[in-house]
């Protein structure tokens, strides 16, 4: 099986630069996610916190998980001591959190980088509460002029079926990306 490449930590500034904000505005992501005050959200593959920090600013208790220490360091610096963001270094599919301890999981531009997607789906199901919800944003599996190699991308038609026991509530096509809001059945 081909090894999925991780977004290089040396390029982490690109995750939060003006072009990112223009192409995938964080306000748009937040408006669709509709985080609630106090809800426990894990941002899987959080990078330097493009989404984790605004989620925390909106009142959520965020667990930002990433496999790369440089990403977590960058997030910590950008967060400037935000108390509502906990940093966890872990390699997905493993999620070192308690069973049924989360209200929501978000994954933005990460699914295509995780090799064991079935294992990831199982772990997400384990850590989410019975009422849990999930946000899945990733690159469309078509030529977009930028982004990861086409063969790594997960087509929008297939993405929900990876997550057994979840139903699609809302879906958006943003051109280069799709945005799916899923909840447990």
Q: Report 117-156 residues binding ligand SAM (CB under 6 A).
A: none
* Smallest separation (angstroms) from ligand SAM to the CB of 104: 14
Stretch that binds ligand SAM, among 61-69, 76-84, 127-135, 174-182 (CB under 6 A): 61-69
Query: Under the criterion CB under 6 A, does residue 15 sit at the interface with ligand SAM?
Result: yes
Among residues 3 and 185, whose Cβ is nearest to ligand SAM? 3
Decide: 40 and 95 in contact? Cβ < 8 Å.
Answer: no
The dihedral sign for the CA sequence 90, 94, 97, 103:
positive
Task: Decide if residue 45 touches ligand SAM (CB under 6 A).
Answer: yes
Does 6 sit near ligand SAM (CB under 6 A)? yes
Closest to ligand SAM by CB, 34 vs 167, is 34
Say how many CA atoms lie within 13 Å of 84 toward its Cβ.
17
User: With contacts defined by CB under 6 A, how many residues of the chain interact with ligand SAM?
Assistant: 19
Cα torsion through 74, 80, 84, 85, rounded to 10: 10
Structure tokens belonging to residue 153? 């991308």
- Residue spans of beta strands (DSSP E) within 50-124: 61-66, 85-89, 102-108
Question: Which of 57, 82, 113, 172 is the binder for ligand SAM (CB under 6 A)?
Answer: 113
User: Bridge partners of 136?
Assistant: 107, 180
CB of 130 to ligand SAM, least distance (A): 25
- Does residue 47 touch ligand SAM according to CB under 6 A? yes
């Amino acid at each position: 099986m081909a090894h999925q490449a991780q977004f290089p930590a040396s390029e982490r500034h690109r995750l939060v630069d003006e072009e990112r904000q223009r192409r995938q505005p964080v306000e748009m992501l937040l408006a669709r996610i509709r985080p609630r005050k106090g809800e426990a959200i894990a941002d899987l593959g959080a990078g330097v916190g493009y989404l984790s920090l605004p989620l925390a600013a909106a009142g959520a208790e965020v667990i930002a998980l990433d496999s790369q220490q440089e990403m977590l360091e960058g997030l910590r610096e950008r967060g400037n001591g935000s108390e509502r963001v906990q940093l966890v270094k872990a390699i997905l599919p493993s999620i070192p959190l308690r069973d049924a301890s989360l209200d929501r999981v978000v994954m933005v531009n990460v699914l295509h980088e995780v090799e064991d997607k079935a294992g990831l789906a199982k772990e997400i199901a384990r850590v989410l509460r019975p009422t849990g919800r999930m946000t899945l944003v990733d690159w469309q599996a078509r030529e977009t002029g930028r982004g990861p190699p086409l063969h790594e991308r997960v087509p929008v038609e297939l993405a929900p079926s990876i997550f057994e026991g979840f139903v699609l509530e809302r879906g958006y096509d943003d051109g280069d990306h799709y945005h799916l809001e899923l909840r447990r059945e």
